[in-house]
A and B are shown apart, each in its own frame.
Chain A
Amino acid sequence: MHSDSNRLVAAAREGDRGAAEELVNLNYQRIYAFLRRLSGNEAEAADLTQRTFSRIWCALDTFANRSSISSWFHGIAYHVYVDWRRANHRLEPRSDEWWGDRPSTEALPDQLATKADSDAAVYSAVEQLDADLRETVHLHYYQELTIEETAHVMAVATSTVKYRLRRALEQLRKRVNDEPQMPARR
C-alpha cells in the first residue's frame, strides 16, 4: 500500500491524471472525516478538503519520501485547518456531536444504547480538551496515525505526542467517570 501510494505520487508528479484520481479515491474520505471532526461543520470541512488537495497537487514536487503518504496528506490537511482556524479565530471548543451523524435505522438494544451513551460521553469529552490534546487524539486515535506519523504531522517530538496522549486519557477518564452523562442522539 505504501509503495503503491509512492508510485501513484510519482506518476501524478509526471502528469498522470489517473494516478491523481486514484490518490483522491484512496484518501479523500479520511481527510474529510479528519477535517469534519476538527471544524465541526460539513460545509467548512468540504471546503477545507478541497484546499487540502489543491495544496497537495502544488506540493507534489516537494514530497521527498521523508514520511509516509498518509502523514504527508494529514500534515497538509492539518496546516490547512490551522490556517483556517487562525483566520476565523476558532480557538474555543465547539459543541458539535459529529459522532451522532452515523446512520442508524434500527432501534438499539439496551446494552448497545448504553454503550453508545458511554461512547458519546467519551467523544464529547474529547471535544472539551485543550486544542493540542484534542488534535493529538484526532490524529492518533481517530485517523489511526502512529506516534511517529502524528509527531511528524504536528511538527513535535514523539515524546511530546506520548505526553499529550497520556494527559488526554487522564482528563478523559476524569471527565467521563466523574460527571453525569447525557444520552446520545438516536
Chain B
Amino acid sequence: MTNLKCPHDDKDSLMNLQDPELERTLRQAPRPLPPATLRETLVAQITLPKTPHCVAGVDSLSSPWRPRSAAVNWWRRWWPALAPAALSVACVVTVAVQQMEINDLRRLLEPLVAALPVDQYETSVASVPSVAPVFAASAESDELARLHDLVDRLAAEIAALENLQAENESLRASRSGGSGLAVTADERAALAAAYERAQVITCINNLKQLGLAAHIWAKDHNDMFPSSLSDLSAQLSASVMVCPVDAQAGSQRPYEYLRPGAEAYKEPNLVLFRCPNHGNICIGDGSAHMKVAKDRPEHLVERDGVLYYEPNSSAPAETQDRAGEEP
C-alpha cells in the first residue's frame, strides 16, 4: 500500500485535502467530450412547436412531454390545492342552506304549537316522531309545573288541618279540665246552681210551647184539646215534650198530660201539663207556672178527679212571666 504525497505538503504523510482544495478540484473536473456525430444528430432532430407536432414516440419513457397551453399547465399545477378547497366550500354552503331551512321551519311551527290544546298537542306530537322529542319536553314541563302547584296546595291544606287538630286537642283538654285550671267548691256550687236554673227555665219554656200547641190544636179540632201528646208531634219537636233533666239522663219520659181531650177555653185554671222533676205546670189558658207542684202544692186543688190551679187559695204563685226573678 503506497501513501501518496500531497503536492502541497512536503511531509511524508497521507493526503490532507481541505474543503477549498476539494472545491477547486471539483470545479476543475475534466469535461467528457461528446461523440463527433452527436451535434449533427441533434440538429437533424430539431422539431419546433410551429412545425409538425412533437412526436411522442421519440421519448418512450414513462413521462412523455407534450406541448401544453399555459392555462392547462396552470390548472395542472394548482388542482391539488383547489380541489379540496372547492369541496370544502361546497360542504359549507350546503350546511348553511340546510340550517337556514331548519330555522325557517322552526319559526313556522312555533305559533302552531302554541295554538294547540295540550291533549291534541300530545296526540299530534306522537304522530310526528321526528318532532316529538322537541315538543314533548315542553308538555312534560307544563305537567310538572301543574303537579308542583297541586303538591303545594295539598301541603298547605295538610298544614292547616294539622293546626286545627292541634287546636281541637287543646280545647278538648281544656274542657275536660286537663288544662290545669283550678275551680273552687263555691264556684262549682254556683255553676251547678246556674245549670239547674237554666234547666228550670228550659222546662218552663217547653210547657209554654206545649200549652200554645194544645190551643192551636183545639182551634182546628172543635175547641177540644188533643187526646195525646203524640198529636202535637207535627207541631213540636221531641225535645220539647221531654224535661231537660230527663233528656240529660237519657230518658224519653214526656211531661204529664193531665186532661187529654178536654174542652178548651172552658176552664182556664185547668192544669194541662205537669213536670214530674221540677213541679212546673201549664194550665188551660196557656200560661206556665214554676215549681207549683213542688214548692206550693196548696195552690193545686183537685175536684172530681180534675186538678185546678188556684193561687188565691193560700199564697200568690210564681208565673212564667216572672220566671227570671228569684222568689
Residue numbers of A with Cβ under 8 A of B are: 12-17, 20-21, 24-25, 28-30, 32-33, 36-37, 42, 45-46, 49-51, 53-55, 57-62, 64, 79-80, 83-84, 86-87, 98-99, 101-102, 111, 114-115, 117-119, 121-123, 126, 137, 141-142, 144, 169, 172-173, 176-178, 180-181, 183
Contacts and interface: CB of A to CB of B under 8 A. Distances in A.
7 contacts: A14-B50, A46-B34, A49-B38, A62-B73, A141-B29, A176-B17, A177-B17
Interface string B1-41: 11111110000001111110011011111111111001101
A79 B63 contact: yes
Contacts of A30: 31
Interface stretch (B54-62, B107-115, B226-234, B287-295): B54-62
Contacts of A14: 50
A100 B43 CA distance: 29
Given A58-B66, A62-B68, A115 B30 contact: no
Given A119-B25, A122-B17, A32 B34 contact: yes
A57 B14 CA distance: 50
Contacts of B42: 24, 28, 49-50, 53
B39 A25 contact: yes
B63 A12 contact: no
Contacts of B43: 21, 24
Interface of A is mostly: helix
Interface residues of B, number: 51
A87 B61 contact: yes
B67 interface: yes
Contacts of B73: 62
A137 B22 CA distance: 11
Given A54-B45, A118-B15, A142 B29 contact: yes
Nearest to A142: B29
Contacts of B4: 114, 117-118, 121, 180-181, 183
From B1, B4, B66, B70, name the one whose CB has the most chain A CB atoms within 10 angstroms.
Answer: B4
Interface of B: 1-7, 14-19, 22-23, 25-35, 38-39, 41-43, 45-51, 54, 58-59, 61-63, 65-70, 73
Given A50-B41, A117-B4, A59 B32 contact: no
Contacts of A173: 17-19, 22
Given A55-B65, A119-B28, A144-B27, A15 B38 contact: no
A61 B38 contact: no
Interface of B is mostly: loop
Given A54-B54, A58-B47, 10 more contacts: A15-B48, A29-B31, A29-B33, A49-B38, A53-B45, A53-B46, A58-B66, A61-B69, A114-B6, A118-B6
A176 B62 contact: no
B46 A57 contact: yes
A175 to B, nearest CB: 10
B30 A101 contact: yes
Contacts of B5: 114
A61 B49 contact: yes
Contacts of A16: 48
A178 B66 CA distance: 49
Nearest to B14: A177
Contacts of B26: 122, 126, 137, 141-142
A142 B69 CA distance: 34
A115 B15 CA distance: 11
B39 A24 contact: yes
Nearest to A27: B42
Contacts of A119: 25, 28-29
Contacts of B6: 114, 118
B16 A177 contact: yes
The 8 closest A-B pairs by CB, nearest first: A15-B50, A141-B26, A58-B54, A32-B34, A102-B30, A36-B32, A33-B31, A55-B65
Nearest to A103: B33
A99 B31 CA distance: 8
A58 B38 contact: no
A181 B67 contact: no
A169 B19 contact: yes
Given A53-B45, A111-B7, A84 B61 contact: yes
A122 B4 CA distance: 13
A49 B48 CA distance: 17
Contacts of A180: 1-4, 14
A43 B235 CA distance: 153
A28 B48 CA distance: 17
B68 A61 contact: yes
A53 B47 CA distance: 9
Contact of A28 (B27, B34, B68): B34
